[in-house]
Amino acid sequence: MNKQWHNYFIYLLAFTSGFSIMGIELLGGRILAPYFGSSVHVWGSIITVFMLALSLGYLFGGRLSLHNPSLKRYGTIFIFAGLCLLPLAYFSTPILELVFDNIEDSRYGSLLASMGLFFIPSIILGMISPYSVRLLVTNEAESGKVAGALYFISTLGSALGTLATSFYFVLWFNVDTIILSYCFVLMILGVCAVLVNKMEASYVAQPQA
Amino acid sequence: MLLNRKLNVLLFAFTAAIFSQTVTAKPVVIKEERSLYQNVFVEDDGDKRCLKFSVKRRTSSQSCMFKSQPKKVVFNYTKFAMSALVFKAKPERVLIIGLGGGTLSNNLLDLYPEIEIDNVEIDPAVVSVAVDYFGFKQTAKVKTHIQDGRIFIKRAQRKKLQYDLIILDAFNGEYIPEHLLTKEFLQESKSLLKDDGILVANTFSSSKLYHHESATYHDVFGDFYSIRKSNNVGNRVLVVGKSLLDQQAIATNAEALKQPLATFGVDLEETFEYITFEPNKVTEYRVLTDQYSPANLL
């Protein structure tokens, strides 16, 4: 894969992670509504948890990029993100029931339930942006431009993820189906990243072949 | 002299204009409150007072009453909901989701002074307007819970509360709380019904949602009765239960209720023409669930 396609591939992955973060955040409202209603405080809980998790994710992603940054590790983040989203489709009911039975106030109930359901996957998804910047930047002078382009792509993904999920996906599919689709897309892209890394490594190993 | 007469004519025209304006008085908004959920208005139009969630749209009246005869029911759907008492005479414990002006609660209390009612309303502004402008009565046995209907029902389920009558009136015509129109929600509501209890739902009679709604109610309750005017406008009141009364028992209840309901301006004989039995059927329309509930998009 030449340098240009290599970078396009990273942008595609960043776009997809932006898309799925907001898609999942939006479905969060749906998942919590039967237990906590859909008032403004429920959205407050969801947004708080996502913002908190993303902020930590940025921090951790940046730290992680210091040690042997590679497309392989980048892909592994995607695979983990997909895995951590799986419980959302399979175990959200017992988690919600547990919180509902133990916390009367629907503000703290929705906050705690959001924590339990979305905190970890959102942290991992948050790690992707700074790591992408690390993989794309080759010199100091262009670092701002690269970061700008990266934010552009991933936030555009978020905008489209919000729109597509709220306007169309909920009209066509079950909530769990949409979440599982996000899981699989993230994991497949992660595996692709690992494979591309392998391919490039073998190409570099025998350049004269 | 001439000037004087001209002035007189002018004065006459002026008074006439003012007078005619008071006769055909425009509706006046006498109370306006912005809440977390909506803008709540109280509008007086002559003798008629209405609770509205928007003054722009004509169809947005949530609850109306005649100030001179507060007992008289204004809306058809309220009449239909009260007529549904023929399916469950003398309810002792009642749950009402969605307060509006408190008309249904007041009327039930009036009919059965011993009744226990749990009113559930999400918006505190609606409750205070109901009390201040619509004479909504709260007693030791008639309570109001400011809570989301779904949360109240889930909590009630855990407390093992049981009701003779549940009235769902939470849809304001512009926005549907989607989590109150799913199979799981109806199953939870059903679990709060006594064996001979009924659930009465004020729903829609137009749009594609109608079919999805029917499919969902059929899925949980099987056969049901619906009360609606034959033309496809306005509301449709559904009557469902674990088991529904037979014709004979309904007729007996109707005989006993005819007089009391007439005092509210409800003509049972007229309502009976609008009741249809809707047997459970297979449809192509998808049942709404917590997983699939795009009610506002249908």
Query: So what's the pLDDT on residue A177?
Result: 97
What residue spans define the domains of chain B? Answer: 76-297
Position B294, amino acid? P
| Phi, psi dihedral angles at A78 (to 5 degrees) | -65, -40
Answer whether B167's CB lies under 8 Å from B81's CB.
Answer: yes
How far is CA B142 from its chain centroid? 17
Residue identified by tokens 């029902």 is B153
Helix axes A106-136, A92-102, angle to 10 degrees: 140
What integer best gives the mean pLDDT of chain B? 87
Confidence (pTM): 0.89
Contact yes or no for B214/B276 (Cβ under 8 A): no
Find the CB nearest A34 among B290, B292, B294. Answer: B290
Neighbouring residues of A162: CB distance < 8 A, sequence distance ≥ 6: A22, A23, A25, A26
Rounded Cα distance between B104 and B81, Å, is 8
DSSP, residue by residue, B57-70: SGGGEEEEEESS-T
Cα separation, B243 vs B237, whole angstroms = 17
What token pair was written down for B293?
């509930």
* Residue for token pair 């201040």: B132
Res B12: pLDDT: 56
Other Cβ atoms within 10 Å of B34 Cβ, number: 10
Catalogue the active-site residues of B. 169
DSSP three-state, residue B20: helix
Average pLDDT, integer, range B110-136: 95
Select the more confidently predicted residue: B56 or A198.
Answer: A198
Burial of B223 (0-12, 13-18, 19+ CB in 10 A): middle
Contact (CB, 8 A) for B213 and B181: yes
106-125 in chain A: CB under 8 A from chain B:
106
- CA A164 vs. chain centroid, Å, equals 16
Residues of B with CB under 8 A from a CB of A: 36-37, 122, 148, 150-151, 154, 158, 177-179, 182, 184-185, 289-294, 297-298
Inspect the interface and report whether the beta carbons of B154 and A171 lie closer than 8 Å: no
Decide if pLDDT at B199 tops 50.
yes
- Position B125, amino acid: A
The mean pLDDT of B190-197, rounded to a whole number, is 96
Q: State residue A209's pLDDT score.
A: 43
pLDDT tens for chain A, residues 1 to 209: 688 899 999 999 999 999 999 999 999 999 999 999 999 999 999 999 999 999 999 999 999 999 999 999 999 999 999 999 999 999 999 999 999 999 999 999 999 999 999 999 999 999 999 999 999 999 999 999 999 999 999 999 999 999 999 999 999 999 999 999 999 999 999 999 999 999 988 877 665 54
Q: What is the mean pLDDT of residues B29-44?
A: 88
CA nearest to B222, candidates B187, B188, B185 = B187
- Token duo for residue A125: 């998804």
- Token code pair at residue A69: 């940054």
CB contact under 8 A, A34 and B184: yes
Q: Check CB contact under 8 Å for B122 and A170.
A: no
Residues pairing with B277 in the sheet: B225
Pick the range with the lowest mean pLDDT from B57-61, B73-77, B168-172: B57-61
Give the whole-angstrom CA distance, residue B193 versus residue B93.
10
Q: Which of A36, A173, A176 sits opposite B151 (nearest CB)?
A: A36
d(CA A77, CA A130): 12
Token reading at A108: 């703290």
Q: Which of B199, B192, B153, B120 is CA-nearest to residue A33?
A: B153
Task: Calculate the dihedral angle through the C-alpha atoms of B59, B34, A38, B233, rounding to the nearest 10 degrees.
Answer: 0
Give B296's pLDDT tier (boundaries 50, 70, 90).
confident
CB B151 within 8 A of CB A10: no
B278-292 residue pLDDT tens: 999 888 999 999 999
Closest to A128 in 3D by CA, of A73, A199, A50: A73
Q: Which residues of chain A does B293 touch, with a Cβ-Cβ cutoff of 8 Å?
A: 30, 170
H/E segment holding residue B245: none
Architecture of domain B76-297 in this structure: 3-Layer(aba) Sandwich (3.40)
In angstroms, the CA B63 to CA B72 distance is 12
Mark yes or no for CB contact B36/A175 under 8 Å: no
CB atoms within 10 A of CB A97: 13
Chain B CB contacts of A106 under 8 Å are 148, 151
Does the beta-carbon distance from B297 to A170 stay under 8 Å?
yes
Count, residues in chain A: 209
pLDDT at position A202 is 85
* Residue A28 confidence (pLDDT): 97
Residue B188 CB contacts under 8 Å (≥ 6 apart), including other chains = B150, B153, B154, B157
Inter-residue contact B54 to B60 (CB < 8 Å): yes
**Closest approach of A188 to chain B, Cα-based (Å):** 25
Top-ranked range on mean pLDDT: pick from A87-101, B14-28, B69-83, B230-244: A87-101
Residue with the bigger pLDDT between B113 and B63: it is B113
| Pick from A33, A34, A170: CB nearest B294 | A170
Q: Position B95: which residue type?
A: L
Q: Would you tell me how many other CB atoms lie within 10 Å of the CB of residue A42? A: 24
The 10 Å Cβ neighbour count of residue B166 is 25
Pick the residue of B290, B297, B298 with the most A CBs within 10 A to test the interface with A by mutation: B290
Amino acid at site B158:
R
Domains of chain A, earliest start first = 3-200 (1.20.1250.20)
pLDDT at position B26 is 81
CB contact under 8 A, A30 and B290: yes
How would residue B233 be classed by pLDDT, with cut points 50, 70 and 90?
low
Q: At what angle do helices A143-163 and A106-136 cross, to 10 degrees?
A: 140
Find chain B residues with C-beta within 8 A of A97's C-beta: none
**pLDDT-derived band at B14, boundaries 50, 70, 90:** low
